[in-house]
Structure 1
Amino acid sequence: MKILIVFDKPIPVAKYGGIQRIVWWLGKELVRQGHKVIFLVGEGSTCPFAEVKIYDPEKPLSVQIPDEVDLVHSYIPVMEELNKPYLVHMESNTKKPEYDINTVFVSRNHAERHHATCYVHNGLDPEDYGRPAFNKKNYLHFLGKAAWRVKNVKGAIEVAQKSGNKLHVIGGSRVNFHMGFRFTVDPNMRFHGMIGGEKKNKVMQESKGLLFPVIWHEPFGIAITESMYFGCPVFATPYGSIPEIVDADSGFLTANKEEMINYLKDPADFDYKRIHDRVMEYFSITPMANSFLKLYEKIMNGETLNASKPYFEKDSEPKFLPFA
């Protein structure tokens, strides 16, 4: 099969970049399984395993699709008629009144909140992370864009402090002006900024768990699965996709701050290898690509992926979910 993957940002990503990594990983696995992939992506992109064409936002998408492709897998909205079967892969929490009927969401919860049924869980590429050691140290870690209030780094810091845990923050700095003003003095809170690759992997490799008290419905959360890849249990709020990813043997979920603090004073023992194995079975690139291949077959046979067009009801969710 010849598949065009469309995204308006450059690949590969230099540091973190969640969606860019999914785009890259999916294309890589499809090629490994014998399919031809063409990337139509942002300026500056390169790729050793697939052909790259540069997406022009000033031109209709329809005129940028090569004749040879069988199907279009788009990470940007399709606003016009295409002469090829296509799907739209929705990764974010956008709140639009209507979506394409062939929209694929990234978790069951993500789909249900948009009155849809079609979803595929994101999968990570083990080759980007190396072999996990399951050698846990004496700190927790937070992973996410700390400048986004919904990621709740402030709550993570408070939980770590009150439960007597050191915390390494990946994706934020000690001084932050984006959420009012936050200056964290405590030396037990270490900030790594926006790091990727081996530096980020090392922090997770040596962590005893991910502290992730988000206050929104997390669409998927690659931070969760890549932490679990290293055997890290997840201590999080039960919002969005998180209960689909984190089972009773791989973490502890609560929206009650005091309950989380008390739990982390003396957490349960976890089987780190089992947590890693859960990611490999359900949340790696192979099951993700296999799920999409089944959807490709459906749309090439003229079927739609949802019974009707997904939509989001305005004001159906609060801006921030409780963590108190």
Structure 2
Amino acid sequence: MNPLKVLIVFDKPIPVLKYGGIQRIVWWLGKELTRQGHKVTFLVGEGSHCPFAEVKIYDPEEPLEKQIPEDIDVIHSYIPVMEPLKKPYLVHMESNTKKQEYDINTVFVSRNHAERHHAVCYVHNGLDPDDYGKPDFKKKNYLHFLGKAAWRVKNVKGAIEVAQKSNWRLHVIGGSRVNFHMGFRFTIDPRMRFHGMIGGERKNKVMNASSGLLFPVVWNEPFGIAITESMYFGCPVFATPYGSIPEIVDHESGFLTADKAELIKHLKDRPEYNARQIHERVMEYFSVKQMTESFLKLYERVMNGEQLNPAMPYFEKDSEPKFLPFG
């Protein structure tokens, strides 16, 4: 493929300083496209800067069409496209927003994510190994939880209970010991260590020494970067089988169940996993290189006038319960 001029549209600032899942995907994609010889322009939130690509500031008060440079070949948007665009484009859908209808060129982040929106087009998220360094496959005697603990769907309470009943120490990344959001929670147990919303080397250090990710979410996880970055460090994943998780975690890289007692028993048995093999699974299937190559194929399709889904994706209201079972 000849070098492309790609406009990446996102309404938040980049780079992200702490966790920021979507921001990191946006950054990694632009960086890898540039590495492969393509020219990237970011149209992103105020306060953004980037050493490898041109940055333009997105104005939410102006139509998107007016903010697109003339020489762009294709647009990769992380925000909804609300008006007709002259340039070929796709919309990258990262979350569970539960809108009623989506653009026909919407790309979801897992097969399950697409199917739940009556669509077929998806690309798994890929991480950039440069952000993580060398994994240490010698593990310590604790598990970690990674996610926004204030979101009840992430189920940090369930993770804490499972860790306590299976006699594991737990490091919680993304939450605090006292929480007032979406229901009061106060965790006394000193075996449960809370790190708050940390990123970069501090977060990597906790994951790199962990014996596994405890991730009993109670919603359909669209993708879950927390899963792949934990697996990058060789951590097996102990989770519920919801959303994209079975696409990422095979039987050699973790244990999936919605039965709390079954998960506790599995962890009590101190199962052995091959940390190096788990790491290699991420490098083979869930790296930024694989993600970018998949998107380049989709760019070619929309530039040829193809539609990425056979019909407009849509989400059926009330088709999913607010919280999926874990008990």
Task: Give the TM-score normalised by structure 1.
Answer: 1.00
Measure, in 2, the Cα distance between the counterparts of 1:260 and 1:40.
Answer: 44
Correspondence for 2:77: 74
Measure, in 2, the Cα distance between the counterparts of 1:94 and 1:119.
Answer: 16
1:19 aligns with 2:18: no
Measure, in 1, the Cα distance between the counterparts of 2:288 and 2:182.
Answer: 35
Correspondence for 1:151: 154
1:109 to 106, 109, 112: 112
Q: Which amino acid in the other structure matches residue 20 of structure 2?
A: G
Residue 268 of structure 1: how far off its partner (Å): 2.1
Correspondence for 1:205: 208
1:128 aligns with 2:117: no
1:219 aligns with 2:222: yes
Residue 179 of structure 1: how far off its partner (Å): 2.8
Residue 53 of structure 1: how far off its partner (Å): 0.2
Correspondence for 1:243: 246
Percent identical among aligned pairs is 81
Measure, in 1, the Cα distance between the counterparts of 2:205 and 2:301.
Answer: 41
Correspondence for 2:314: 311
2:67 to 64, 67, 76: 64
| Aligned-pair Cα RMSD in Å | 0.4
1:37 aligns with 2:8: no
Correspondence for 2:180: 177
Measure, in 1, the Cα distance between the counterparts of 2:59 and 2:184.
Answer: 39
Residue correspondences, number: 324
Q: Which amino acid in the other structure matches residue 150 of structure 1?
A: V
Measure, in 2, the Cα distance between the counterparts of 1:292 and 1:191.
Answer: 37
Measure, in 1, the Cα distance between the counterparts of 2:107 and 2:274.
Answer: 33
Residue 322 of structure 1: how far off its partner (Å): 0.3
Measure, in 1, the Cα distance between the counterparts of 2:84 and 2:308.
Answer: 17
What does the per-residue CA deviation read over 1:266-318, in whole Å, with 9 as the maximum and x for residues that have no partner?
A: 13211100000000000000000000000000000000000000000011000
Structure 1 outlier segments of 4+, above 4 Å: none
Correspondence for 2:194: 191
Q: Which amino acid in the other structure matches residue 180 of structure 2?
A: F
Correspondence for 1:301: 304
SS at match of 1:87: strand
Residue 97 of structure 1: how far off its partner (Å): 1.3
Measure, in 2, the Cα distance between the counterparts of 1:180 and 1:130.
Answer: 37
Runs of 5+ consecutive residues of structure 1 not aligned to the other structure: none
SS at match of 1:38: strand
Q: Which amino acid in the other structure matches residue 284 of structure 1?
A: S
Residue 96 of structure 1: how far off its partner (Å): 1.2
Runs of 5+ consecutive residues of structure 2 not aligned to the other structure: none
1:52 aligns with 2:46: no
Residue 91 of structure 1: how far off its partner (Å): 0.1
Task: Give the TM-score normalised by structure 2.
Answer: 0.99
